[in-house]
Amino acid sequence: MNKIYADAQTALEGLMYDGMTVMAGGFGLCGIPEHLILAMRDSGIGNLTVVSNNAGVDDAGLGLLLKTRQIKKMISSYVGENKTFEQQYLDGELELEFNPQGTLAERIRAGGAGIPAFFTKTGFGTQIADGKETRAFDGENYVMETGLVADVAIVKADVGDSEGNLIFRKTARNFNSIMATAGKVTIAEVENLVEPGELDKDKIHTPGIFVQRIIKGTSFENRIEQLTTRERDVA
* CA distance linking residue 9 with residue 24, whole number of Å: 16
Residues 33-37, mean pLDDT to the nearest whole number: 96
Alpha helices in the chain (DSSP H): 8-12, 34-43, 63-67, 83-90, 101-112, 176-179
**CB neighbour list of residue 227: distance below 8 Å, 6 or more residues apart:** none
Does 107 or 224 have the greater pLDDT score?
A: 107
CA of 48: how far to CAs of 38, 69, 159, 192, in Å?
A: 14, 9, 29, 29
pLDDT, tens digit, 9 for 90 and up, residues 118-130: 999 999 999 999 9
* CA distance linking residue 155 with residue 26, whole number of Å: 8
pLDDT, tens digit, 9 for 90 and up, residues 212-229: 999 998 888 766 666 778
The helix/strand count (H/E) of the chain reads as: 6, 11
Lowest-confidence range among 26-30, 42-46, 143-147? 26-30
List, in order of start, the domains of the chain with CATH numbers.
8-114+148-216 (3.40.1080.10)
